[in-house]
Structure formats: structure tokens, C-alpha cells
Amino acid sequence: MTKKEIFIVSAFTENSVWKQVLGICSALAVTNLMKNSLVMGLGVTFTLALSGLTISLLRQYIPKRVRMMVQTLIIASYVIIVDIFLKAFYPEMSKALGPYVGLIITNCIIMGRAEAFAGKNKPLDSMIDGIGAGLGYSLVLLLISFFRELFGFGSVMGFSVLGDWWYRWSIMVMAPSAFFMLAILIWIIEGPLRANRKK
């Protein structure tokens, strides 16, 4: 596969959320505001890219029996480095991100890509795969959060667009709406859109 194909497959064709149904926990938790989704998406993309690169560089030396422990250690280390870096050099951004940085460790897409791709492929390819998977994940989060924030708060990216006349749909702010928004998204992509592509 060329580098472009690797990116397209990990970001779209085999998208971690709508195709593999991974990373659902964070997709449900942070998608009631677009800003939170963007931050989460960028954090996951950064961690995916660097952990993929590192795991691929070490792949020939990592013993099979302890590979998941090693992957977890590498992923957690990168997340902690990001957290410390933001606290030391960008304190305002660190305060705004709050607990999201720590939550990146629990995202199963990172572990999934480490197991499925980085452990078997070249470093640069693994990094591109990580960036693709991260941006694909971010795209889903932003799509869901756009509708949840719009109907739940009447705003987009924190800017009020619907005005005071809009009666906020409280359900859109709460976790259950993320379930059916995600289900609708998967249905549209895997149903009508896929059928159109086949024609």
C-alpha cells in the first residue's frame, strides 16, 4: 500500500468509529460540545502518531508475551508528556483541556492501531496510519458534536447561532443522544451512502 492509501484506509475505509466501533466511550462522553471534541480529537491524533512510530521502531525487540504491557507503557508515557508540556508551557490551554488529556490513555483506538498496524509495519507507515485513524476519529466526533451542540445549546463551537428563541433539547446534551446520533451516523454511512457507492 502507498502512504496515501494507508491514510485513506485508516481514516475512512476502515474508520475506527463507524467501521470498527472503537473509541465509543469518549465519543459518547465528549461530543456535547464541539470544542471538547476538537481537543480530544487532536490529543488522540498526536498520541496515535507518536505511539505508532515508537512501537514500530521497537517492534523487532518487543517480546510477544509482554507486547500489550509495552504498548500501554509507551501510550501512557506520551499522554503524560503532553500533559506536563501543556501545564509547563501552555497553562491556559492545559486548564481549558482539563481532564481530557488524561482520558486519551483510555482510548482503545490507540491500543487497537498499535496491535493491528504499528506492531507489523514500518515506522513512517505506522505514523501515517496513526494520523489517519486519529483524524478519522476526530471527524466523527466533530460531526456528532455539531448536531448535539446545535440542538442542545443552540450554539456551534461555543458561538450562539440559534438565539434565545431556540428551546434547548436537553436530551441532546446528555449521553443517550450520543448513542442514537452515533447509530444514525453509522446507518447513513454503512446504509444509504454505501449502497450509492455500489451503484
Partner 1 sequence: MGKNKIPFTESRSYPVFFMILITVIFIGILATFHQITRQRIENHRILSYKKTVLSLFDLPFTNIEADYNDFIEENNQNGMDYLTARKENQIIGYGFNISGSGLWGSIHMIIAVTPDFQEIIKLDILDQNETPGLGGRITESWFKDQFSGKDFVEQGKIIPFKLVPEEDDIDLKEIRQITGASSSSKAVVKILYLELQNIADKLGIKYD
Binding residues (CB under 8 A) for partner 1: these are 29-33, 36, 58, 61-63, 65-66, 69-70, 73-74, 77, 80-81, 84-85, 87-89, 91, 95, 98-100, 103, 168, 170, 173-175
Interatomic CA distance for residues 53 and 126, integer angstroms: 6
Closest distance to partner 1 from the beta carbon of 29 (Å):
6
Closest distance to partner 1 from the beta carbon of 188 (Å):
24
Closest distance to partner 1 from the beta carbon of 3 (Å):
28
**Among residues 58 and 189, whose Cβ is nearest to partner 1?**
58
Closest distance to partner 1 from the beta carbon of 99 (Å):
6
**Among residues 40 and 49, whose Cβ is nearest to partner 1?**
40
Position of cell 456535547? 32
Closest distance to partner 1 from the beta carbon of 16 (Å):
20
